[in-house]
Structure 1
Amino acid sequence: MKTKLIIVIAALFLLSCGNNENEFDATGTFEAVETIVSAQASGLIKELSIEEGQVLKAGQKLGYIDTVQLSLKKKQLEAQMSAIISRKPNIAAETAALQEDLKHARREQNRIANLVKADAATRKQLDDAGSQIDIIKKKIAAQHTSLGNSVSSLGEEAEAIKAQIEQINDQLEKSQIINELDGSVITKFAEESEMTSTGKALYKIADLSTITLRAYITGNQFSKVKIGQKVTVFVDSEADSYKKYEGIIEWISDKAEFTPKTIQTKEERANLVYAVKIKVKNDGLLKIGMYGEVKL
């Protein structure tokens, strides 16, 4: 009789240990940072090579939006730029004739100065030669000013065209659909041959290499956890068994809230709890929305 009693007690003890093994400190669901990628240009989607579940790399080209009109506009602006450049005056060439006149006038002044010394010419003739030089100099200065104003005006026109070309280049670049993040395509919102516009969603992407379990702890547990603390995360594997993962607490809410309805029983939902985020390295089996259990 005594032996049977010992066996029963031992069995109850083992059963109790087994039940404690499955008692978890917190429960939650897995989530990830999801980013909606939108079109940066308007037009017909000529190519969009993605499928839901596809793993993408940052910098990967996925397709492009029709750029025919932009290319034609760029050619038109480049032609206008060439026309402006061709109208730009060559100041040296434009004033070359006056510069020759100035040289001739100075030679004439020197000749008359020599004649004055030899009493073969009058002082008035020498003054007239000097006045002629001054007149030519003023003509050259006026032409420099006029041509300079013309160059400045054409330069401003060219800068305006250049800015428009840079805008077109930016639009052409944004017409290329380039993925900016490492991650997996969660949802695809657009298809090839559809019209799109700037800001319209194309697809949703999330990095699932690490995934976050948002779980909830009680007020009693709140003082026992800290950022960077390692915990054990359990997810359903097979019938009556769990798969273990190592997790690290990366965020703890400082405000209490009511337990989410999807997490606990009706009685427990009335309790105030604190949300925590636990970062878990994903081996490919963890999914967004999957339930997880935590042992602190």
Structure 2
Amino acid sequence: MRKSILYGLASIFLMAACETKDDYDASGNFEADEVVVSAQQTGQLLSFSVLEGAQLKEGENIGQIDVKIPELQKQQAEAAIAALKQKTGSPKDQTKVASRQLAVQESQLAQQIRERKRTENLVKADAATQKQLDDIDAAIDQMQKQINVTRQQIKLYNYNSATQNRGILSEQSPLAVTAKQYQEQINRGQIINPLTGLVLTRYALKGEMTAIGKPLYKIANVDTLTLKAYITGDKLSQIKNGQTVKIRIDQGEKDYKTYAGQIYWISSKAEFTPKTIQTKNERANLVYAIKVRVKNDGFLKIGMYGEVIFI
């Protein structure tokens, strides 16, 4: 009788354990957004301080690729720009002489005008002839023409100098763009970490040659992981985006460690059950994928198995 009772209790405990083990609504594996950081320049890795398992910060300078060639090319472009500036001229010397000549001519014109007025009065008093007055008028007209020519010369000097300088300086703009391109290549020689996270894999070592697009390391932010799980269609009515659920992972052979999670994505279409996923209803061939965001306390790892319990 006592043995029967013991066997009965053992059966009950075994059944309870089995029910507890299968008491979940979905299961899957933890994953994170993994970023493969690649080289943006070709050259030798002069420095590269990345270690697998290291925690890196966003914007941290973690390496340098040799950029001696673009540095020299930039210097060459800047030297060409400086040479162009030396070729530009100023019309100051030419206009200075012409301006002095113009001042003399304007003074002579003023003198001729005064002389004409005096001569005009003498003609009225019969003390001078009309021819004398006509000669002065002719001289005034000639002086005015000379002044106009001198003024045109000054304008021409300024125009020619400006045109010549524009032609020379027009070559400066493409050279400045070229210098900026070389500076961008120089900047890309610095290896800047794009996000805060954990280094998962390192693909290169200091001293190696690298090329544009060649992977250097893989990094992921593991502060928050995603549990991608699968549920059967009859569970869809129990969940919605933003819903809080309970996540558990194995802790030893019998215990579980639990976390709070939040559903942020539910697949809009069914798919066949992945071979690596076990659902409670083994008769169901079609399942729906969901994604649950879980705050990581350091124990959760990418690829780890987890279970979802709807609450």
Deviation readout 1:12-69 (Å, 9 max, x if unpaired): 5555444332222111111111111121222222111101111110010011111111
- 1:100 paired residue number: 100
Deviation readout 1:76-133 (Å, 9 max, x if unpaired): 2222121112222223344211121111111111122222222276211111111111
- 1:89 paired residue number: 89
Deviation at 1:241, TM superposition (A): 2.1
Match of 1:281 among 295, 298, 302: 295
| 2:47 equivalent to 1:47 | yes
| 2:260 equivalent to 1:246 | yes
Distance between the aligned counterparts of 1:168 and 1:79, measured in 2?
14
| 2:19 equivalent to 1:20 | yes
Aligned residue for 2:70, secondary structure, equals helix
Distance between the aligned counterparts of 1:149 and 1:138, measured in 2?
16
Aligned residues: 294
Contact 1:28 1:216 (C-alpha < 8 Å) held by counterparts: yes
Q: Which moved more, 1:274-283 or 1:99-108?
A: 99-108
Tell me which structure has the larger Cα radius of gyration. 2
Deviation readout 1:157-188 (Å, 9 max, x if unpaired): 22222111211221111111111111111122
What does 1:36-185 align with in structure 2 at a 5 Å threshold?
Answer: 36-119=36-119, 122-185=136-199
Distance between the aligned counterparts of 1:274 and 1:151, measured in 2?
71
Counterpart of 2:118 in structure 1: which amino acid? A
Deviation at 1:274, TM superposition (A): 0.4
Contact 1:48 1:64 (C-alpha < 8 Å) held by counterparts: yes
Q: Which moved more, 1:92-101 or 1:6-15?
A: 6-15
Counterpart of 1:131 in structure 2: which amino acid? K
Distance between the aligned counterparts of 2:4 and 2:271, measured in 1?
47
TM-score of the superposition, structure 2-length normalised?
0.87
Distance between the aligned counterparts of 1:270 and 1:244, measured in 2?
27
| Structure 2 CA distance for partners of 1:241 and 1:106, relative to 1, 3 Å | same
Deviation readout 1:212-265 (Å, 9 max, x if unpaired): 111100111111111111111121221222211111111110111111101128
Distance between the aligned counterparts of 1:242 and 1:83, measured in 2?
75
Distance between the aligned counterparts of 1:192 and 1:269, measured in 2?
54
Aligned residue for 2:238, secondary structure, equals coil
What 5-or-longer segments of structure 2 have no aligned partner? 120-131
Counterpart of 1:248 in structure 2: which amino acid? Q
Distance between the aligned counterparts of 2:273 and 2:117, measured in 1?
115
Q: Which moved more, 1:18-27 or 1:229-238?
A: 18-27
Q: Which moved more, 1:223-232 or 1:87-96?
A: 87-96
Contact 1:259 1:269 (C-alpha < 8 Å) held by counterparts: no
Distance between the aligned counterparts of 2:188 and 2:203, measured in 1?
18
Distance between the aligned counterparts of 1:248 and 1:271, measured in 2?
26
What 5-or-longer segments of structure 1 have no aligned partner? none
| Structure 2 CA distance for partners of 1:192 and 1:25, relative to 1, 3 Å | same
Q: CA RMSD in A?
A: 2.3
Contact 2:25 2:308 (C-alpha < 8 Å) held by counterparts: yes
- 2:248 paired residue number: 234
TM-score of the superposition, structure 1-length normalised?
0.91
Contact 1:261 1:269 (C-alpha < 8 Å) held by counterparts: no
Distance between the aligned counterparts of 2:171 and 2:255, measured in 1?
75
Aligned residue for 1:122, secondary structure, equals helix
Distance between the aligned counterparts of 1:39 and 1:47, measured in 2?
13
Contact 1:57 1:183 (C-alpha < 8 Å) held by counterparts: yes
Aligned residue for 1:223, secondary structure, equals helix
Distance between the aligned counterparts of 1:95 and 1:269, measured in 2?
99
| 2:207 equivalent to 1:208 | no
Aligned residue for 1:205, secondary structure, equals strand
Contact 1:259 1:268 (C-alpha < 8 Å) held by counterparts: no
Counterpart of 1:147 in structure 2: which amino acid? S
The percentage of aligned residue pairs carrying the same residue is 40
Aligned residue for 1:95, secondary structure, equals helix
Aligned residue for 1:64, secondary structure, equals strand
Distance between the aligned counterparts of 1:229 and 1:15, measured in 2?
33
